[in-house]
Amino acid sequence: MIKILDKISARKLNLIKIMSSETRYFSVKELSEQLNVSNKTLVRTVELLREDMESWESNVEILDKNILGYCLLQLDGFSVKEIEVYYYKESIIYQVIDELFHNKFIDIKTFASERYLSYTVVYTHIVEIKELVKEFSLELELNKNIRLKGTEIQIRYFYLNFYWNTLGGIEWPFKYFEKQTAFEYVDIIERFYSRKLSVSETEFFLYWIGTIFNRVNLRKKTVDCTEFHLYKGMYNELEEELTPKFLSKNIPAESVEEEVLFIYLILFCFQPRRIYGEVDKVHIRIELNKNQESQLSSFWMREFYDHFSLNLTISEQITLYTNLVIQHLGLLVFKGGKDFLKSNDFYLTDCDPAISEMLTEVVETMTSELFRKEEFKELLPDRKIIEKLYQQELYDLLFSDFRMGSIKVAIISQFGEQVNQYFKNIVISKTNMKIEFCDFSDKDVDLIISDRSYSEILHKKNSQAELIIWNAHPNEIDKKKVKKVLQKISCRRQRKIFCTLLNRKIKRIAN
């Protein structure tokens, strides 16, 4: 994990994040404790932040009252991410990497002189960059001409990671390739996936296109994809569309094939994971052969069957194997970057803490078997990264909608059906599980929500059903109650599923 921002900028950014989290006044003591600074430093930080705000176009300002403290006034259109981008772009590390990417970095002395910085300060930050690029299997040569050394695939991947994690699609950093031109490739990518891209996906792939053509236009070396196995289920169609476009962009004819293959690798490795139970609209053939990622995936599935007494449906087997192959190939092709700026986020939503702990232990046991195999040792990346990926895969497989089922909820209101949809929307928004609404007398009802303690409810409800009495007009406390109870029901089902499916070989973990 890299700290791009200096101490003062990081403090200002953290301050604005804290104050933007709630619409209220924060006392000086409260803010100083959260930032772990003195009251005097906090007041000075607010002053510096106000000075920065004068140059921003963001709709935000700090209000203060001597007794109450400080409040962040946020108008429509305010975005913390835009403030974050501002501080990233002001940092020494960002500016050094940006100049290296665009071939504008001359030497440390020139860079420092142009910004009225000392040579030592700049050199210290460049040493930090040197450590960062090691995670991407790259080397930063600190000779007269500072440059990145490594494969072109890894160099491109590093710059993509850097710009995507700092700018996040808010700004276009590629000076030698116009964003409007990059949009020409979005339609091709959507045809490859047979669906529309989301806004975030579109920006992500635009950054990839920008990275590629910025490097090409600077006459950097061509990528070499020959060492990787390619699943050419849709390669021919992609090649037919991309080849003439690449030739029209003055990419040397001898480099076109490698560039097409590289984009194919990107689209394959960065495609969304398959969701269990959904119809897969993208038909990418996964060949059963002896390539590295297939061997890894097959071995992992054998370990899965050793640990779980579960008969997967054909659809689940295909989904699991496809996800594993995609993840393994992605880790083999694109090394590093899984902990860039912040911890990698995995989404074990509404997961019972006890289940999360057991999942971790099971995955550690399964991964240990992988690392004992000599043929896999050199292929596997950082163990913590791959264990997180496996934990996410197991969670999605074991607790899919198919196994978890739906939570049956009955809502009783004095207003009748006129506002019932509003109440239903509240319930649906508080969980990721499927919700099925029913009558409170249903024998399988899981949760009854009412605005009054009607005697008939207490008389007819089954003993297993949870009961919530909320206000006729539900407030935030009521909504939190609903979320808590739905999570309780979800966790109860997770425990039942997990302990039922665990093989005897590993049952001791659950005890």
* pLDDT tens string 281-336: 444 445 545 677 888 888 899 989 888 888 888 888 888 988 998 888 888 889 88
Q: Is the pLDDT of residue 346 over 60?
A: no
Report residue 350 as tokens. 């509404």
375 or 4, higher pLDDT: 4
pLDDT score at 136: 92
pLDDT at 503 over 80: no
Lowest mean pLDDT across 14-23, 73-82, 89-98: 73-82
pLDDT (tens digit, 9 = 90+) per residue, 399-409? Answer: 988 889 999 99
Write 291-296 long-range contacts (CB < 8 A, 24+): 291/229, 292/229, 292/328, 292/332, 292/379, 293/229, 293/324, 293/325, 293/328, 293/329, 293/332, 294/229, 294/325, 295/375, 295/376, 296/324, 296/328, 296/370, 296/376, 296/379, 296/380
Are residues 461 and 472 in contact, defined by beta-carbon separation less than 8 angstroms? no
Please list, residue by residue across 307-344, b when 16 or more beta carbons sit within 10 angstroms of its beta carbon and e when fewer do: bbebebeeebeebbbbbbbbbbbbbbbbbbbbebbeee
Indicate whether 213 pLDDT > 80. Answer: yes
Cβ neighbors of 259 (< 8 A, separation 6 or more) are: 212, 216, 222, 223, 242, 246, 251
Q: How confident is the model at residue 53 (pLDDT cuts 50, 70, 90)?
A: confident
Provide the pLDDT for residue 371.
84
What would the mean pLDDT of 483-511 be, rounded to a whole number? Answer: 78
* Residue 505 pLDDT greater than 80, yes or no: no
- The single-letter DSSP state of residue 502 is B
- Calculate mean pLDDT across residues 455-467: 78
* pTM of the predicted structure, to 2 decimals: 0.85
Query: Would you say the C-alpha torsion 430, 434, 440, 446 has a positive or negative sign?
Result: negative
43: alpha, beta or left, given left = phi > 0 and alpha = psi -120 to 50? Answer: alpha
Half-sphere exposure (Cβ direction) of 455: Cα atoms closer than 13 Å: 0
pLDDT at residue 417 in the model: 66
Q: What are the backbone angles phi and psi of residue 131, rounded to the nearest 5°?
A: -70, -40
pLDDT of residue 145: 80
Residues 165-195: pLDDT tens digits?
A: 999 899 999 999 999 999 999 999 999 888 8
